[in-house]
Structure 1
Amino acid sequence: MGRTLGDRGTVDRRSVIRGGLVAGLGTAAVAGGLLSTRGPQDDAMEIALAAGEPDAATQLGFVSVKAAPHNATGNGNSDDTAAIVSAYNAARAAKASLYFPSGSYKVSSLPQFDSLTTVRGAGADATTIIYTGTGTMLALRDRQRVAFKNLGFWAAGNGGTLISLDNCFRCSFESVMLRGSHTAATNPRYLGQIGVSIASNTGGTSFSNCDINNFGVGISTSAIQNYITNSKFTTNWISLRGTGNNFASGMAISNTEFVSDINVKSTDKHIHIDGRASDWWLTNVWIEGAATAIAVGAAGVGGPSQFGMVNCKIAARTVDLDLMHCRQPYLANVAFDADQNAQPQLLKINAANVPEGVATNLITSVGADFPMSTFPAGWTVTGRAKHLAAGGPLVRSPNGKIWKLAVSNTGQVSAVDAGNI
């Protein structure tokens, strides 16, 4: 099924950008617009100067990194690190937003922004900050409400992390493009790249209308609850990783897409929760293009305390949803499908480590319904003309008493007084 993009034509959902990168491109190519997919909507934040006018960024209360005396070039070749530090110091003194006009800004690092700092660009595809190192471009610790809006970041080095948040609260990414350099053609060179690392007690981080593309790991979290909405992950080896095995990592995801192509070197997993974790909730999420779309927990080690999927579509090459260790997962109105030219196991449940759960109105593209043998004995399952209750369903008799029904191996039904429930 194609998706219509107005006068820009029709793009097949599975014909993804494959990273939006061409292997071997230098930073000058980015500056030259080779990677830009800028549209009219990205011009809203552009600040233009008419002849004889002062810096319009100043009129809006922003400090521009290109303004004198800071003089960042934004040409993608010169190192703009010092100019950005100078502009940030001026913005901090003035309690103003730091503004990046259109351009590509090559940096070795970014300043340690104070709490309540806002960093703005001219658009996610118009402003690009390029990091060629293998460490961490921006490491924030003990910060609150640092906001990034309408700009892009590109990791061009062989490894490293663009942004790390450690013990930070309510930081936000709004209309931000985070790009790495991983593609099927470059695998495994850039698998060490991480877009955003969320660690320690960081909480309340929000990603809204963001694109996270072409990383070894798009977002890695070992921290308490954070949030992703109206965003898209494309061609990451692992799009979103919950890690730490510390009962802490958690994420709420809504109205978001995880996509890739069908090349086995592009994407291994879209969501991987690799041990004991907190709560993971997915609502209105589309997932396709991976060996395993979602892997939940580590068998015999642990998994999330809650895992829920509601109104989602999921497809993969090998396994759609692999529930290896989890407490009482909840699946409702989830459609399971296969990637192109694939025959995956749609739903895999480890009975020993996921003995109980709820499945309601699951849809499969390969048959009328999931066979009941898919679910361990402790699961409660409802579907088309079927209801399977773990331990037997409860019914109410006309006099108001509650009874638990049981059936023998020969089909004989009996009832046990369940008392007051």
Structure 2
Amino acid sequence: MNDKLRTGAAAAALALAATGLLPGTQAEARPAACPTLKISDGWYGDNKARIDALLADHCGAEGGRKPVAVFDWDNTVIKNDVGDATFYWLLRNDRIRPPKDGDWSTTSRHLTPEAATALRAACPTGVRTLPTATDTGCADELLSVYGNGATTAGKTAFAGYDHRRTEPQYAWLAQLLHGWTTRQAASFAAAARAENLAAPQGATQRVGSAQVTGWVRYYDQQRDLIRALKDGGFDVWIVSASPEPVVDVWAKGAGVDASHAVGIRNTTEHGRLTSHLKGCGSVRDGEDTMITYVDGKRCWINQEILGVPGPAAERVQPAARRQVLAAGDSDTDVSFLRDATGLRLVLNRNKNELMCRAYENGDGRWLVNPVFIEPKKRKTTPYPCATTGYTASDGTAAPVRREDGTVIPDQLDSVF
């Protein structure tokens, strides 16, 4: 185990002090038995013990707001991606509505002219829903633009966006739900959920001419952690870069109510979803430039969970206002994980910026754990922290830097 991930008295004290809840300050308020994790399998090193210690420190806290825990969803609470599962279901069941007059540029302000032209050529116009269950060419073009960010001919599909605030491919799924009601979108997600949970692990499905992933599983360990946090008085939230009606359906299976799930939110018109998105911070509804993605996740957490209004939601908040625990698996989760004041649980999927920060573990609050189902093999080359591990707003690669601007050195993969 990496020495920097071992728990020492100093690191533990630092993490507890940062929460504003030092050991013993709320001993009188705690019940006789604080919740602990029931499942031990799958937890690496002393990760379970450190989570149990955090639970004990916050157990039964009285006065003020509840401590907050925030989880990413795809590949953090479940294995695989519920947005992908829903998109595949939409294609297999003819549930995507074509844009008016076949103008695909109306589905995303970031869609390139080349992609709009390719989609118009591949998919019919003048139909209520696209026949993607049988029209392989249309299905393949949609699948390529969504999954690869490129047309089937290899042309870039999206451009002109802030890479720290949005991912147009993710946003496009929500935008392709235009014309349906929120309830209908949730019903599509529920159907996809039933199929993917019933399918055997490792199953694939045919969409267009491609074979794609056809199964999803909840991580028992994360369900157990969410249960323990809720029993311990935490306010537990899911924040995902999948469409919110989709996240709402899946979150209930992990014990999180839809009122505590935040995803990509469409604007509505006459009760139906549009191709425009709700905004956050300084981004207004319909501008479609900030979703629950990297710095955008920070904004949505601050705005919807912590109650920070306006442009201030885009900034890091004082420690006393921030989430205590955060969990994620990807570079898309870096900002809200860094904001957590207690523990930052990282499932290792070999994502450069995230693993650079987690392995450096400068303040002793990062916990790295292998993925609970089909964990990644050890990355044999160092993470390129000192050169290209960071993706800037314009999409260029840069070094990963600490708060003081110094560069994090390359890190070796040690938890797998």
Q: Common fold, TM-score beyond 0.5?
A: no
TM-score (norm. length: structure 1): 0.25
Q: Which structure's CA Rg is the greater one?
A: 1
TM-score (norm. length: structure 2): 0.25
